[in-house]
Structure 1
Amino acid sequence: MPAKKKTKKTNSSPKQGIKYEDKSAGQPELVPIFDEIKKLIKPYKKGSLKEREGTGGQYSLVSEMEIEVDGKKKPEVYFVGLLVQKGYVGFYFMPIYAEPELKKVFPQELLKCLKGKSCFYIKKKDPVLLSQIKDALKLGYEEYKKKGWVK
C-alpha cells in the first residue's frame, strides 16, 4: 500500500472586496485624518497631476507625463498618495524618495512618522503635523516642478 501524501491545509476562502476603512474596529477614527490630509493634497490636482481614487480609503496624485529618470523613460510619476491602513493613515510622499535631501528641512515631528523611504504613518489628527504635511507638499511640488516632472 503506497504511503499517504500529507496535504497542507490552506485558507481557501479569502475575503473579497474589503474596503480599507473596514480593516479594523479603529478605522472610524482614521477616516477624519485621511479626509484632512486629502484636503491638503487636492490643491495640487492641476496640470499634469491627476487624481487616482480607489475604493474607500485610497487616494493619490500622479503626474501623467512622460519623464526620464536615470536614462529610462517613464510614462508617469507618482507624486503623493493616501491609504487607510490598520491603525494608521499611510501618507506616501514620493518627492522624499526622489530627493532624499528634502528630509533635512522636515521638522522632527514629521520625520518621526517616516517609516521606510517614503511612507509616513499618521496616527492622529494633530494640527502641527497637518501643517508640516502642508509645507512638505509645497516643497515636494516645487522639487517636481524643478525636475520638470509636473506641468
Structure 2
Amino acid sequence: MLTNPIEIDLSLRAILKKHLGPLKLRKDDSSGMEVSGTIPTMQGKQKVDGFYFASVIPKPKDTRLYFFPIYTDAEAFNDIAPELRKCLKGKSCFHFKKVDDNLKNSITDMIARGIKRYQNKGLLDKS
C-alpha cells in the first residue's frame, strides 16, 4: 500500500503516461503533471491544441487527480468502485492519501474508460 504522497504521485503519473499517444504531456514537473488530447478542438469558446484530460498535483498530505471525463461524462462513471468514489471531492477531483492494489486497479480502469469515451467522441486519437 502506498501512503507517501510522493509515491502516490509517481504511481498516478505512470498510469497516465501509459496512455501517451492518444494523450500528450502539457506539463510534467515538480508542481504537477497535465495531459491532454492531441487533436485541435474547441474547449468552451477557445480553440485548443488538445482537449484537457487530467492532472496530477502533489500536495503535502495527499495527491490529487483532476479527471475531466468524470465531469464531462458523469453518467459513464456512475459505477466506479466505492473506494474510488470515496476519494472524489467535488465533481472531478480525487484526493488520495492511501492507494492499495485494488484502488490502483480502479484508477487504471477509470482512466482507460475515460480514454475510450473521449476517443469515441473524437476528442482523442485512436492510436
**Is the aligned partner of 1:83 residue 2:62?**
no
Partner of 2:21: 46
Do the aligned residues in 1 keep the contact of 2:83 with 2:103 (CA within 8 Å)? yes
Give, in whole Å, the separation in 2 of the partners of 1:80 and 1:147.
17
TM-score (normalised: structure 1): 0.73
The total of aligned residue pairs comes to 122
Question: Greater strand percent: which structure?
Answer: 2
Give, in whole Å, the separation in 2 of the partners of 1:98 and 1:108.
20
- Quote the offset at 1:144 in angstroms: 0.3
Q: Where does the alignment leave 5 or more consecutive residues of structure 1 unmatched?
A: 1-27
Do the aligned residues in 2 keep the contact of 1:59 with 1:82 (CA within 8 Å)? yes
- Letter paired with 1:135: D
Query: What percent identity do the matched residue pairs reach?
Result: 30
Partner of 1:115: 89
Higher radius of gyration, 1 or 2: 1
**Is the aligned partner of 1:137 residue 2:111?**
yes
Deviation readout 1:46-103 (Å, 9 max, x if unpaired): 04x2112343141121113222467x45313111110002311011111111101023
- Quote the offset at 1:132 in angstroms: 0.3
Moved over 6 A (4+): none
RMSD: 1.9
- Quote the offset at 1:125 in angstroms: 2.6
Deviation readout 1:24-66 (Å, 9 max, x if unpaired): xxxx92100111111111111104x211234314112111322
SS at match of 1:83: strand
Do the aligned residues in 1 keep the contact of 2:5 with 2:60 (CA within 8 Å)? no
Distance 1:46 1:35, change over 3 A: same
Whose relative contact order is higher, 1 or 2, with alpha carbons under 8 Å and at least 6 apart? 2
Q: Where does the alignment leave 5 or more consecutive residues of structure 2 unmatched?
A: none
Distance 1:139 1:32, change over 3 A: same
- Letter paired with 2:73: E
- Letter paired with 1:31: I
Q: Structure 2 matches for 1:97-108, cutoff 5 A?
A: 97-108=71-82
Q: Structure 2 matches for 1:4-23, cutoff 5 A?
A: none
